[in-house]
Amino acid sequence: MPLSWWRLEQEALPELEESLLWKLQQLGIPRVAIRYRPEQPSQRQLVAWLPEADWPEPERRRLVEALASLAEPFGLEPAPVRWERQDDEDWSLSWKEHWEPDPVGRRLLILPAWLELPPEHADRLVIRMDPGSAFGTGSHPTTRLCLEAIEELALERGDGGPAPAGLAGWQVADLGCGSGILGIAALLHGAARVAAVDVDPLAVRATRENAAVSGFQDRLAARQGSVEELVPLLTAGPADLLLCNILAPVIEALCPAFSTVLAPGGVGLLSGLLVHQAPRLEGVLAGEGWHAELAAQQSQWGLLRIWKA
Ligand SMILES: C[S@@+](CC[C@H](N)C(=O)[O-])C[C@H]1O[C@@H](n2cnc3c(N)ncnc32)[C@H](O)[C@@H]1O
């Protein structure tokens, strides 16, 4: 007998999109997508497919409450959820249908692993990903801020050519790697090796899988844990570049250990903070001997660049 599905649809507000995907993943709902028309990329719908037998009405009500709670910290009204029963849709096809190649910055492209490289993006550096497997599909502003800052850094180091080498030879630490997207972007810009950690074992698995999809399995080592687990992974000594996209209070708690993983001449790119949290974080980082500068922002999200004072 074919399975029946509940199809959930909700407007994906830009501030919440990645949190919604992450929440669904945490709740064991892997069949999710963000749907939008290429001509209207800002109008995005979250779509998720749930096996009908596993999601009776009380469970679905609790799920709606869990999604609504994500809007609270932003002072946003939760968007209404629509449910539709689907008997015969092949969810796996409809799930994959909703992902599009996603250009970021001047020359990166996030490409769902099953899609061909579109000819119009043939000159871009391609991050092949299995989206939805962990935080870091590239749709969240903080991920994009970090990707653009990595590109910027590589360009500053004289990387204007077709064969990217701006970060050539660099050791990179990816703290809170999620899908591994930032480390993979650094490797595409010529970095020698990436050490990646995440407290979430699913993220570690996703990072390893995504690195392998891009052929980087020998240059990216991922391990479950936090900053202390980076030290043994950084076999050539402290990193030239630290990437850390986690919430401001977590960055604040982790930053006393940054000097154990980032070389004195190195650069850190920190995101996950709201712009209004930047001054406090800059002060805390200064106390640890780091210059910190709000280098970029998108909507209310900021990116700090840090280096040794
Ligand atoms: C906002 S996501 C960033 C993912 C990816 N780096 C990106 O930029 O899209 C933050 C990640 O940090 C992880 N994380 C949270 N607290 C952490 C900690 N104390 N140490 C290491 N990872 C942590 C989470 O599990 C999550 O995967």
How far, in Å, from the CA of 292 to the mean position of ligand 1?
20
Q: Check whether 194 has a pLDDT greater than 90.
A: yes
3-state helix/strand/coil string of the chain: CCCCEEEEEEECCCCCHHHHHHHHHHCCCCCEEEEEECCEEEEEEEEEEEEHHHCCHHHHHHHHHHHHHCCHHHCCCCCCEEEEEECCCCHHHHHHHCCCCEEECCCEEEEECCCCCCHHHCCCEEEEECCCCCCCCCCCHHHHHHHHHHHHHHHHCCCCCCCCCCCCCCEEEEECCCCCHHHHHHHHCCCCEEEEEECCHHHHHHHHHHHHHCCCCCCEEEEECCHHHHHHHCCCCCEEEEEEECCHHHHHHHHHHHHHHEEEEEEEEEEEEEHHHHHHHHHHHHHCCEEEEEEEEECCEEEEEEEEC
Q: What's residue 49's pLDDT?
A: 85
Pocket test for ligand 1, best of 140, 246, 255 (most atoms within 8 A of CB): 246
**Is the domain 136-308 a CATH 3.40.50.150 member?**
yes
How far, in Å, from the CA of 119 to the mean position of ligand 1?
33
Q: Complex ipTM, two decimals?
A: 0.99
Q: What's residue 100's pLDDT?
A: 81
Query: Over the stretch 87-108, which tens digit does the pLDDT of each residue have?
Result: 765 555 666 666 788 899 999 9
Comparison of pLDDT for 267 and 26, the residue scoring more: 267
* Model confidence, pTM: 0.81
Most confident listed range (133-137, 162-166, 201-205): 201-205
Q: What's residue 306's pLDDT?
A: 98
Q: What's residue 270's pLDDT?
A: 98
Specify the residue with its C-alpha closest to ligand 1, atom 10.
246
Mean pLDDT on 98-122: 90
Pocket test for ligand 1, best of 198, 223, 229, 304 (most atoms within 8 A of CB): 198
The residue ranges of every structural domain in the chain are 1-14+44-97, 136-308
CA 203 to ligand 1: nearest atom:
27
Binned at pLDDT 50, 70 and 90, residue 39 comes out as low
How far, in Å, from the CA of 192 to the mean position of ligand 1?
22
Query: Over the stretch 239-265, which tens digit does the pLDDT of each residue have?
Result: 999 999 998 989 999 999 999 999 999
Q: Check whether 163 has a pLDDT greater than 80.
A: no
Specify the residue with its C-alpha closest to ligand 1, atom 13.
176
How far, in Å, from the CA of 111 to the mean position of ligand 1?
21
CA 253 to ligand 1: nearest atom:
19
Q: Check whether 202 has a pLDDT greater than 60.
A: yes
Q: What's residue 89's pLDDT?
A: 55
Around ligand 1, the residues with Cβ closer than 6 Å are 135-136, 143, 146, 175-178, 181-182, 197-200, 203, 226, 245-246, 250, 272
How far, in Å, from the CA of 106 to the mean position of ligand 1?
25
